Amino acid sequence: MKFGILLLLVVASLAVVRSSEDHKALNEKQHSVLIKSLDKDYRPCADFYRYACYKWSDQHKDNGDNYTTVPEMMNYDVNMEVIEYLEKTPETDMPGFVKLVKDFYVSCTESPEFKPLDFMHWMEKEEHIKWALFTPDAAEDFVFDWTKILATFRKYGFNNMFITESRHYQEGSHFITYLKKPVYNDGFNFVFNYEIDEYNETIPLPSGTMGFHDLWKYIDPFEDKLRDIKVEEQEKPKMFKYHELPYPWMQSYLKYLMEPEVIDPNMEVGIYNMAYMEALDKLLKEYDAKVLARYMEIRFLQDADKFNKRSTKNECMTTTKSLLPMAMEWIYEQMHPEVVKEMPKIEQMFENILKNVNKSLHMDVSEYIPKEFFGKLVTMHMKVGMIPQENAKDLLESYYADVKLDAHEYYRNFVKMLEFYYKLEHTHFDYKNFAEDKGFFFKTPSYNFESSIRSIYVPSMNLMILPFGLFRPPVYHEEFEDIFKQSSLATIMGMGMFDAFLSTKDFPNEDVKKLAGVIGLHAAFEVFFSSLQSEEITRYLTMFGFTSLHELKQMFFLNAIHYKCEWYSGDADIVNFATSNLSDFTEAYDCKLNNFMRMF
C-alpha cells in the first residue's frame, strides 16, 4: 500500500472524531472551554487574566505532567497524533525523512534517561573525545586547550559560550566568518551548585584530576564576572584578516574549527562587540587553562542534559521535533490538509492586522517608538508552515539524504543530528531550487527543548512563521466561527509582530511586550468588529444565547487571551496591562476606573 493511501487512512480515522462534531456543536464547545476557565472570584476589570484563566489548570489537572500551558497542550496534542501515525504506518511506506523521525523517536523511548557518564563514555568511544575532566593535571599527552574543546563542541551545535560563531556566504563559495557576543535571551545560563553536586555523585573522576567541588570554587566567581561584562552593542562588525586577529585564542579557535582544512591567513573575519572581546580576553587571562577546559566540558554536559528531556512519549516526541522540525512539520501538514485550504483567509487576516498595527503605531506623537519599527512592518511577511508548499517532499528527501539514524542508538542519533546542522550551516549550496528556500531549512539547534507551539520570527527574512500545529483548537479550526478565529489567531499575529522589535536599542523588552499586548489585542478587536454586520451580530447572539453586544465582545476578549492561559500566570501582567488600556474592553466590561488609564 502506498504511503499516501496509508496517510489518508490515518487522517480518516482522526476525521471520524472531528466529523461527529457539527459546526454548531464545535463552536458551543469552544465557548464552553472559555466559560469553564473562568474564575469569578476575580473581577475582570481588576485582574482580567486570572478572571479568564485561573480555572484553566483545573480543567487539565489530569495532564499536568504533560503540559502546564495552552501552547504546551497544543504541542502535546500534535505529538500524540504523530505518535499514532508512526505506530500505525509500516516503515516500508514512509519517505526516508519520516523514517528518520521514527528512528529518532524510538531510540529516545528506549533510553528514557540522559546519563552524563554514559554519554561521555559514548563520546570517548565513538567520537574519540578525550575529556579534560578525566585527565590528570600532570598528564603529558594532553594539552588543556579550551579553544580546541570549544571548537570541537561547536561542531555539535554548542555556540553560546564566550562567543557565537557564524558563517555567511557571499558570491560563489566565498564566505566570511563572524564572531560576536552570545545573546542570552532568557538570561545568563549559570552552572548551579546542585548540578555540580549531581555530577560529583554520578561522574567518578580519576585520581590526579580536579574534583567538581574544587572546580566550583573557580566557576562560581568566573560566571559572575562573565555575566557582568556590560558593553555598548556594536551595530557593524570590524573586519580583519585571519592573521590580523587581535587575540591568539581567536586564531586558535578558528584554526581548530576549520580542521581538517588548512586555514587561509587572509580569510575574512568580522568581529562584533570589540569592547566585549577585550573585556573577555582580560577575564580569560585570570584563569588557568585547566579550569577553562573543564568548565567548557561542564557547560556542554549541562546544555546536552537540558535538551534531553525524554521520560515520557510526549517529551521524546518534543525532543524529536526539536531536532527534526521540518520532517515533523511535513507529517503533520499531510495529516491536516484542511489547513492548506484556509491559507487565503489566514493570509488576508495577517494583512489586515499588519495594516492596523502600523496605523496604531503611527498614532504615537511622542516619538517614543523607534523609527525602525515602521520600516520592519512595511516589509514584514507571513508564512503558514515551516516548509515550502511546492516540492516539499522532494526537498526534504534531498535535505536529509545524508542522515543515517539507528532506532536503537539514541546518543549516536543525538550527536549525528547536531553534526548535521553544523555542516549544513557551514556548507555552500549552489543549486537554484534549494537556494530559494534555504532560509526555511536553516535550523541550527540551540540546545532548546521547545515544548510549545507558537509563532516563529525569522529576523534575517523579516518573516513570521505560523507552524501548522498552531491551527488546531483552541486557537483555530476550519469550522470555527470567525469571532473565534479572529480573536485568537489575529491576536497571536498582532502580538507576534513585535518579536521583530525585541532587543531594540533604547527600547526595553518589557516595554515591547506591553506594547505588543495593547496594540495586538486592539488590532484584532478593531479589525473584526469594524466589519461586523448587524445580521451577523444577531446570528451570534442567537447562537450563543447572548442578549447584548457587550456579551459578544466579552467572549471575544476571553478567547483572545485564552492562548495565554497557564497554571503559573506568567503573562498576567502583560494581559492586564493590555486590557486596562483598551477603551473597547472598558466598555465591554463596564470598567469605569479604567477610563482614566486607557491608551486606545
Average pLDDT, the chain: 89
pLDDT digits (tens, 9 = 90+) for 119-176: 999 999 999 999 999 999 999 889 999 999 999 999 998 888 999 998 887 766 678 9
Distance CA 311, CA 328 (A): 20
Is the torsion defined by CA of 315, 318, 322, 324 positive or negative?
positive
Residue 167 cell numbers, joined: 558563517
Indicate the pLDDT class of residue 466, thresholds 50, 70 and 90.
very high
pTM, to two decimals: 0.89
- Segment 219-226 shows an average pLDDT of 95
Q: What pLDDT score does 1 carry?
A: 46
pLDDT greater than 60 at residue 12: no
111 close to 310: Cβ distance less than 8 angstroms: yes
Task: State the pLDDT at residue 371.
Answer: 79
Angle, CA of 478, 480 and 482, to the nearest 5°: 105
pLDDT band at 312 (very low <50, low <70, confident <90, very high): very high
* φ, ψ (nearest 5 deg) of residue 165: -110, 140
pLDDT for position 234 = 78
- Structural domains for the chain: 3-109+308-596 (3.40.390), 116-307 (1.10.1380.10)
What are the two backbone dihedrals, phi and then psi, of residue 483, each rounded to the nearest 5 degrees? Answer: -60, -35
Q: Is the separation of the CB atoms in 155 and 417 below 8 Å?
A: no
Q: What is the mean pLDDT of residues 305-333?
A: 90
Query: How sure is the predictor about 430, in pLDDT bands with cuts at 50, 70 and 90?
Result: very low
- Give the model's pLDDT for residue 16: 44
pLDDT of residue 366: 62
Q: E strands of 399-480, at which residues?
A: 456-458, 463-466
Q: Is the pLDDT of residue 580 over 50?
A: yes
pLDDT tens per residue, range 488-546 = 999 999 999 999 988 777 788 899 999 999 999 999 999 999 999 999 999 999 999 99
Q: How far is CA 170 from CA 87, 176, 436, 520, in A?
A: 44, 8, 15, 37
